Structure 1
């Protein structure tokens, strides 16, 4: 093992309490913004009050949402108007997205966003049912800086304001916090390490962070405020960007193979601790098929490897397997019949787990149909799946995008060269079946996804930052537009008919998305948003991709997710075979 960084970083909250407890601050008024939860901030205020200082500590992360959580009387609230900052360093919707999910938190109260100027304050007008009106200015502490990827960003930051000192000295300045310092030191240590030019650069880059943090359940569907999760996301994608620049690839390139990057961020009450080290891959345990547990249509969370193996064996057909970088099998089976063939897969991005269940449930139905003809690999990225299970042991409600890609660090669908490892599952599926349709089940975050240390919105994934319901993506080769449209029309109609509550679920999420993302005119068919893309990037002429906001959901929400995934496959195969019959 090689250790790149191992150190303790002082807690900013404690540092500031010590600073402002000094005699020169007695009688002063202090306002401070940092990345701590309300309980810790209130305790700091009490400590300063004992020293004769009037202090208010607020959250630098999502300040408008925290304002409504901590300072607004929401009983009897009828309407809210928010004038939000607009800055040239950020997209216009930056601050309306930072206010998410305010529209849902307000219940029946109306919310209107109005574009403001460059001043970093939200201007809020509250109207109550009894006729009262209140106004407030909510500071959004941000700083403009060039980040690790060479991009100029407007990012949340710590801030301190002091007035009322006896000597007349006043302070109004941005300050770094341990939240930013942890990120900067990790990125700096990785940037200066001599990686060489040959990919992959390592097997596993392990990043352990213990840090004071915000973990707040908003009690609005799956929405949470978590700076632990946000730091995981910023570290993972930020380090990918470091290696993209090192390899002279464009930002966002998915073919890069640096190795497996594993940020393990955990909340503590005390100083921050950081350790970055290179490790070998952990040993891979053998998998024994195991059918115990709830019936497949009732499972309430990600399946075990044993359950996946058990369910794959039940499908029958001609089994085959590809091997991952860590040596796990990608279990595949070819069910050969008289119908036109289809490829069915789930788990390309391994933190999207409802598609694995949906693919298996659908295959159970399809295998008993006359002429059934399909290739199935329900869990396409087992190395990522294993990492997801590891990360969920400590943070089960976090989206854990470090588990999204393969152990090589690439998106397996974008793999550029041999050895193909997991990609061989697809290559062989297309070869042995001759399929022209691939139904590929995906998911995306069920709550807000942010990168607060890199401009707040997740770079290259800006329109995925908040949920927008279940939707379909149709990719097709030139000349296949009619078939693509026919598939979409049939599948959306069947889903709307067969899945109770789906259309209403989508309508609610789309309303929230449109309010906060300032985006209208989403293409919707039968209550289901759709996207179409023409190109030659796919290996087959038609690829139907499902996108359900499943990352981090459990229980009834997870069961609903895999029910939708199941029906997507069944409706897709039904539509495809109907098209085939019509052409006969």
Structure 2
């Protein structure tokens, strides 16, 4: 273990109390926008008010949502309708500020809400509250942002802290950016990593551990799985910003999927200490494996690696293996029969966990059929999976995209040269089965995904920023025999899926909200199930069916529904392949 950097940073709310306790501010009104939870902001307000300072401390993160939660001037019951004019800024995607308003309409479900984009409003939302009495009330909600350049020379318009001081007689005497503790922590971490002397070639390390302590609690929102989480947002921003910097250092595209950097592990923890801190160190791969068992049929959370291997061993057939760079095994099973063969895989992106359960449940059914013919590799990325198991111990409701990729830091599907490590499990499955259909089970975030200090919207993952229901992606090689197959195949599979209790209504609810904030989905709806159909060049298998269920961070009944849908998809796709191949 080797330490690279360590620091503690005083909280911005504490600095405000200390700074404005001076007598010169006695006749002033202080307004500040910071990255802090409600408890810290309100505590600072009360301390300042005791000193005679009229203070209002707001959130710089999702300011419109916080206005409706904390500063609404009327009871919700008095409001009939709401009109929100959001900024359109040349330096940001057109719907950037509209996305920051998500999921307002779900929080104000009894009020009609209209969103209007305007280039005139560069720094604030204009909110018109239409009361039941017929009166209208206008509020401008400031959204502090700044245009800045990143370490890889990208330009972003990002939320930032702000301070405004108004004197009772002299008027506004300060109105400027305030670099908060949250921003300092982020930038000092990136600077320390970028200035470190790294070896000449990748992988640069086994595990780059960034342990962050923040005293800010998550705040659950009263809609589905949404929450305000500064800690989760910082994990996402640190992980992808560091990954992008290393990719550019290695000569790759910042947002591509090439490069074997090593395992980048931000662990952003809650602390009761009244300061923020970060410690960066290099350490060896962590090789412990998760253990324990639960009902596979009604699993309420991700199952352990021990259970995955046990369940796989119950399937009759030939075992085959791949090995990761850490030495963990990737397990596969080839079950031979007279049916048309099918490849089944899951766990490529290891924080997408419902597919693992769904795949094992499906092959348990298939293995009982006399003619069934399939290969199964239920956990393609065991290193990422075990990292995910580690990270959810302290933050079970966070997405943890640091666990998305392999211990080498890449997406195994994109490997182009040896050693293939995890990817060889697919190569072996293809070699054994000669399958023409690959069913590849995936998931994605079940709640909003943001990078607040790097332009808010996660780069390269723009279409994944908010959930939009369960959908299918079908990729084919474009040859005539598979063109006619795909249409019949999808008609059959989606007809079966539309019968899964609650799935169509679940989809419609999420898609309606997605459309309101992100725009129209480019899906084709077949039997009520969204589908994307793409022709690809030289695929490994002529047809690949990819599932996408918004499963990251799901537990209990929500997780059960997720793996029920994954199971139903495998079984329907297998049957369709027998009919139309």
- TM-score relative to the length of structure 1: 0.96
What SS does the aligned partner of 1:154 have?
Answer: strand
Find out whether 1:234 has 2:229 as its counterpart.
Answer: no
Q: How far apart in 2 are the matches of 1:108 and 1:344?
A: 44
Q: Which of 80, 84, 92 is the aligned partner of 2:86?
A: 84
Q: How far apart in 2 are the matches of 1:319 and 1:521?
A: 40
Q: How far apart in 1 are the matches of 2:388 and 2:176?
A: 40
CA contact (8 A) 2:28 2:168 kept: yes
CA contact (8 A) 1:89 1:153 kept: yes
RMSD: 1.5
Shift of 1:520: 5.0
CA contact (8 A) 2:252 2:258 kept: no
Residues 387-413 of structure 1: per-residue CA shift (max 9 Å, x gap): 000000000000000000000101111
Question: 1:165-204 alignment to 2 at 5 Å?
Answer: 170-204=173-207
Question: 1:214-293 alignment to 2 at 5 Å?
Answer: 214-269=217-272, 270-285=274-289, 292-293=293-294
Find out whether 1:297 has 2:291 as its counterpart.
Answer: no
> What residue number does 1:513 align with?
514
Question: 1:555-566 alignment to 2 at 5 Å?
Answer: 555-566=556-567
Shift of 1:513: 0.1
Q: Which of 148, 160, 175 is the aligned partner of 1:145?
A: 148
CA contact (8 A) 1:24 1:166 kept: no
- Gaps (5+ residues) in structure 2? none
Q: How far apart in 2 are the matches of 1:299 and 1:239?
A: 34
Q: How far apart in 2 are the matches of 1:389 and 1:180?
A: 28
Q: Which of 473, 480, 483 is the aligned partner of 1:481?
A: 483
What SS does the aligned partner of 2:76 have?
Answer: coil
CA contact (8 A) 1:228 1:265 kept: yes
Question: 1:34-113 alignment to 2 at 5 Å?
Answer: 34-72=34-72, 73-113=75-115
Q: How far apart in 2 are the matches of 1:440 and 1:250?
A: 26
Relative to structure 1, the CA distance from residue 520 to residue 281 in structure 2 (aligned partners, 3 Å threshold; closer, same or farther) is: closer
What SS does the aligned partner of 2:266 have?
Answer: strand
Q: How far apart in 2 are the matches of 1:168 and 1:135?
A: 22
Question: 1:153-172 alignment to 2 at 5 Å?
Answer: 153-164=156-167, 170-172=173-175
What SS does the aligned partner of 1:220 have?
Answer: coil
Relative to structure 1, the CA distance from residue 154 to residue 559 in structure 2 (aligned partners, 3 Å threshold; closer, same or farther) is: same
The worse-fitting range, judged by mean Cα deviation, of 152-161 and 110-119 is: 110-119
Question: 1:395-406 alignment to 2 at 5 Å?
Answer: 395-406=395-406
Shift of 1:165: 5.7
Shift of 1:537: 5.4
Residues 216-255 of structure 1: per-residue CA shift (max 9 Å, x gap): 1002111111010000000000011001110110121212
Residues 329-384 of structure 1: per-residue CA shift (max 9 Å, x gap): 11110000001111001110000000000000100111111310000011111100
Shift of 1:503: 0.5
Q: How far apart in 2 are the matches of 1:312 and 1:160?
A: 58
Question: 1:117-156 alignment to 2 at 5 Å?
Answer: 117=119, 118-156=121-159
What SS does the aligned partner of 1:458 have?
Answer: coil
CA contact (8 A) 1:11 1:212 kept: no
- TM-score relative to the length of structure 2: 0.96
Q: How far apart in 2 are the matches of 1:67 and 1:203?
A: 44
Shift of 1:30: 0.6
What SS does the aligned partner of 2:475 have?
Answer: strand
CA contact (8 A) 2:294 2:303 kept: no
Q: How far apart in 1 are the matches of 2:524 and 2:411?
A: 27
- Gaps (5+ residues) in structure 1? none
